[in-house]
Amino acid sequence: MTTDTARLLRAYDDQLRTDAETPSAIAVTRSGPLRLVTFAGGRGFVTYRDLGGADAAEVARLVETAVAHYLADPAIDRVEWKTRGHDHAPGLHDALLANGFSPEEPESIMVGEATALLAEVELPAGTTLRKVTEEADVRAASAMADIAFGDAVDPGQADALLRRLARDDGMEIWVGEVDGEIVTTGRLEPVAGTEFAGIWGGATLPAWRGRGIYRALTAARARSAIAGGKRLIHSDSTEYSRPILERSGLVKVSTTTPYQWRRPQAA
């Protein structure tokens, strides 16, 4: 690992793998090294700075304890356990499978200087970039993201974004439009008490990919982050967005694989 990559990974671990990772939690319970987080809407989330050198037997016990914690709360119907590829976590994959978790696709953890993203991009005619706050714009952006990912439009996603905006916690929603049609979107999420802002939720309609619009939207979010006093950018990236961020100067410092658990249905 190069010195720069190691420095960025250390900043990620030290600054982001704390309570700063879950600012909208409604409850956090400590269980050894684990933070067992409860979000609104029946969602649980398991994260940690590291597993404290636990061996496979102790890792298995930690997983069992976490599942028991969420089973005891009938309001929780789903839980995500966020793993990182660089952690020392012997037996974690097998322990998660044994306790009802299923892995999703790995993503790349991308970190870098915000200034690296300040590209000037030649855009298609009729393209505009802007931050949106009005309900109609937020719902249109959320619906476009669902369509871009091949999913059914979920009004609940837009409801959640509107609740976040109402909290005024610094989150920004940005869109790129061509002749008034939203064709790309993404969020900026400054992390309080750190040097970081996150860029999340990037989505572009297939017909408009590869034309620089998403890269320009990323640059716009980086400018906003810098204006707000943030120096570093982080993102968990799919294999589509990773090359865009790498070309802009962000570095893949590790991987992250979410494991999902659903409450067993009563017989």
Q: Report how far residue 171's alpha carbon sits from residue 70's, in angstroms, rounded to the nearest whole number.
A: 28
pLDDT at 9 over 70: yes
pLDDT (0 to 100) of residue 245: 84
Please choose, from the candidates 47, 45, 48, 60, the residue with its C-alpha nearest in 3D space to the C-alpha of residue 90. 60
The mean pLDDT of 99-121, rounded to a whole number, is 94
pLDDT (0 to 100) of residue 119: 83
pLDDT at 176 over 80: yes
pLDDT (0 to 100) of residue 266: 59
The mean pLDDT of 91-100, rounded to a whole number, is 98
- Mean pLDDT value across the chain: 93
The mean pLDDT of 138-164, rounded to a whole number, is 93
Residue 2 pLDDT grade (very low, low, confident, very high; cuts 50, 70, 90): low
**pTM score, two decimals?**
0.86
pLDDT (0 to 100) of residue 208: 95
pLDDT (0 to 100) of residue 24: 79
> Which one of 3.40.630.30, 3.40.50.300, 3.10.50.40, 1.20.1270.30 gives the CATH number of domain 112-255?
3.40.630.30
Contact between residue 92 and residue 57 where contact means Cβ atoms under 8 Å apart:
no
The CATH class, in words, for 18-106+256-262 is: alpha beta
The mean pLDDT of 54-82, rounded to a whole number, is 97
Which residues does residue 38 pair with via DSSP β-bridges, in sequence order?
A: 27, 44
Q: Tokens 């837009």 belong to which residue? A: 158
Amino acid occupying residue 17: R
The conformation of residue 205, written as its DSSP 8-state character, comes to -
Higher pLDDT, 174 or 239: 174
pLDDT (0 to 100) of residue 52: 93
The mean pLDDT of 24-42, rounded to a whole number, is 92
pLDDT (0 to 100) of residue 103: 97
pLDDT (0 to 100) of residue 10: 96
Q: Report how far residue 235's alpha carbon sits from residue 245's, in angstroms, rounded to the nearest whole number.
A: 9
Residue 40 pLDDT grade (very low, low, confident, very high; cuts 50, 70, 90): confident
The conformation of residue 263, written as its DSSP 8-state character, comes to P
Instruction: Measure CA of the first residue to CA of the last residue in the chain; give whole Å.
Output: 50
The mean pLDDT of 243-266, rounded to a whole number, is 90
How many residues does this entry show for the chain? 267
pLDDT tens digits, 86-95: 999 999 999 9
Q: Report how far residue 126's alpha carbon sits from residue 177's, in angstroms, rounded to the nearest whole number.
A: 8
Cite the residue boundaries of each domain of the chain with CATH code 3.40.630.30: 112-255
% of the chain beyond a pLDDT of 90: 82
pLDDT at 1 over 70: no
Please list, in sequence order, all residues whose beta carbon lies within 8 angstroms of the beta carbon of residue 209, skipping any fewer than 6 positions away. 240
pLDDT (0 to 100) of residue 160: 87
The mean pLDDT of 186-197, rounded to a whole number, is 95
